[in-house]
Amino acid sequence: MRLHLFEWEDQAWFPASLRAAMTSYLVTDYGITPLPRLWADCLSRFLSRDGVIEIVDLGSGSGGPVENVVKELAGRGFKTRVTLTDLYPNEGLQFKTDAASSMRYWPEPVDAARVPAALPGIRTMFASFHHFRPQLARGILRDAFEQGCPICIFEGTSRTPAAIASALLIPLFVLLLTPLVRPVSSVQILFTYLLPILPLLIFWDGLVSQIRTYSVHELAEFTRELQSSRYRWETGLIEIPRLPAGVPYLIGWPA
Ligand SMILES: C[S@@+](CC[C@H](N)C(=O)[O-])C[C@H]1O[C@@H](n2cnc3c(N)ncnc32)[C@H](O)[C@@H]1O
């Protein structure tokens, strides 16, 4: 059963510096997993190599896996221009750009359930769809469907006993990987090693994220009323080599 428990990152009053430290850790965490490559594999099936692909990422945090996904896409010959957005934008993030990709962070808050018309493009959500309760989740899908916009939802968690149990390792990973976080802030170091509340906060949000993750069946159910010959949906599990649980995805695409 899915439980929509409390996550620190979702709270408007939560200190921006701690939220940024938590999402910066996530960026490093993705870097050691095969997820960016697997997500790029899945996305590639829908993309065209003609022209520049405009991507609007929702619930971006500190960028999550986007930079790595874009690099993977560039390696496959796709050119992209990405706009990162968040309800609580992480201001001041800098990204490397090259001939194949450019990235910017939208400075205004963007609610994933109400994407402004000023941001056209393929909508992506990496590890953020579980932040929305069913009614809002349906609203996000309906908005993309009615506007004829592609939407690609990828989760990095799954609501299986093995994945939920694996969350117990999060504090250890936070202690081991924090030296790799770039750029690293004094808040990151202070609250990881001197007063170790970040390992606990990240553990809690990681555990709750697994418990909140929609199953493939639930994702497909959300799309049941959003059917048209002009738009198609695909749901599935992305298998992760050597791990028992795959991670769910949902893609909506104009036919
Ligand atoms: C797990 S975090 C970061 C996700 C990021 N894509 C990643 O992979 O690291 C989830 C993000 O969702 C954002 N968020 C929460 N509610 C939101 C909403 N209604 N609209 C947009 N973003 C939201 C939070 O601010 C947070 O940055």
pLDDT band at 183 (very low <50, low <70, confident <90, very high): confident
Confidence of residue 92 (pLDDT cuts 50, 70, 90): confident
Is 126 near ligand 1, meaning CB less than 6 Å away?
Answer: yes
Residue 98 has pLDDT above 80, yes or no: no
**Interval 193-222: pLDDT, tens:** 999 999 999 999 999 999 999 999 999 999
Domains and CATH numbers, the chain: 8-254 (3.40.50.150)
Pocket test for ligand 1, best of 87, 135, 140, 207 (most atoms within 8 A of CB): 87
Q: Is the pLDDT of residue 96 over 70?
A: no
Give mean pLDDT, residues 219-240.
97
Distance 81 CA to ligand 1 centre (A): 20
Task: Measure CA of the first residue to CA of the last residue in the chain; give whole Å.
Answer: 33
Confidence (pLDDT) at 95: 74
Residue 101 is predicted with a pLDDT of: 76
What mean pLDDT, rounded, does the chain reach? 94
Give the pLDDT score at 99. 63
- Supply angle C-alpha 81, 124, 208, rounded to 5: 140
What is the reported pLDDT for 167?
95
- Cα pseudo-dihedral 188, 190, 195, 201, rounded to 10: -10
Residue 90: the pLDDT is: 83
What is the phi/psi pair of residue 170, to 5°? -55, -50
Which residue has its alpha carbon closest to ligand 1 atom 8?
64
Check if 56 has its Cβ closer than 6 Å to any atom of ligand 1.
no
201 CB under 6 A from ligand 1?
A: no
User: 57, 106, 128: which to mutate for ligand 1, most atoms within 8 A of CB?
Assistant: 128
**Among 27-31, 38-42, 99-103, 127-131, the least confident range:** 99-103
Parallel, antiparallel, or unpaired: how do β-strands 151-154 and 247-254 relate? antiparallel
What token pair was written down for 175?
A: 């202690």
Distance CA 209, CA 42 (A): 22
Q: Under a CB-based contact definition with an 8 Å cutoff, are residues 20 and 60 in contact?
A: no
**Sorting pLDDT into bands at 50, 70 and 90, what band is 140?**
very high
At 233, the pLDDT band (50, 70, 90 cuts) reads: very high
- 90 in Cβ contact with 54 (< 8 Å): no
Residue with tokens 């993705």: 30
Give the phi and the psi of residue 250 in degrees, each rounded to 5: -140, 130
The single residue listed with the structure tokens 């921006």 is: 16
pLDDT above 80 for 12: yes
In the chain, how long is the greatest CA-to-CA distance?
57
Distance of CA 59 from the midpoint of ligand 1 (Å)? 3
Helices (H), 126-252: 134-147, 161-166, 170-177, 186-189, 198-212, 216-222
pLDDT over 90 at 243, yes or no: no
**Protein residue with its CA nearest to atom 26 in ligand 1:** 61
Any atom of ligand 1 within 6 Å of the Cβ of 68:
no
Q: What average pLDDT score do residues 63-71 get?
A: 93
Query: Is any atom of ligand 1 closer than 6 Å to the C-beta of 221?
Result: no
pLDDT for 198 equals 98
Q: Closest residue (by CA) to atom 13 of ligand 1?
A: 59
pLDDT of residue 93: 77
Residue type present at position 183? P
Residues forming beta bridges with residue 151, ordered by sequence position: 123, 252
Residue 111, pLDDT > 70, answer yes
Compare 229 and 92 and report the one with higher pLDDT: 229
Please state, in angstroms and rounded to a whole number, the distance separating the CA atoms of residues 230 and 80: 25
Rounded CA gap, 125 and 112, in Å?
9
Q: Is the pTM of this model over 0.75?
A: yes
Q: How far is the CA of 229 from the centre of ligand 1 (A)?
A: 31
Backbone angles phi, psi at 24, to 5 degrees: -65, -40
β-bridge pairing 101-105 and 79-84: parallel
Across residues 28-50, what is the average pLDDT? 95
In the block, tokens 């200190």 appear at: 15
| C-beta 89 within 6 A of ligand 1 | no
